[in-house]
């Protein structure tokens, strides 16, 4: 990830002794919660059958 270097540079201002492990342990709870919330949103989207956009269905019929 190219942004990892930028995140490490910003983190050095806050925690000068921090490194890759500090960054990962800081971002891990955010990543887990983010994944759970987006999975729930996807399940709700599919459950209500909301189309993905104009003429964009969730399931396309097979072409014969």
Q: For 20, phi and psi rounded to 5 degrees? A: -65, -40
Mean pLDDT, the chain cut into blocks of 10 residues (64 residues total)? 88 89 92 97 88 76 77
pLDDT value of residue 38: 96
From first CA to last CA, the distance across the chain in angstroms is 42
pLDDT value of residue 59: 72
pLDDT value of residue 33: 98
Tokens of 12: 């050095």
Going from the C-alpha of 51 to that of each of 5, 32, 59, 63, the distances in angstroms are 38, 27, 9, 20
pLDDT value of residue 28: 95
């Amino acid at each position: 990830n190219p942004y990892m270097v930028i995140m490490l540079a910003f983190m050095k201002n806050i925690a000068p002794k921090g490194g890759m492990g500090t960054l990962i342990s800081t971002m891990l709870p955010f990543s887990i919660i983010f994944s759970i919330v987006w999975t729930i949103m996807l399940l709700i989207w599919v459950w209500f059958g909301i189309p993905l956009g104009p003429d964009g269905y969730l399931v396309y019929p097979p072409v014969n």
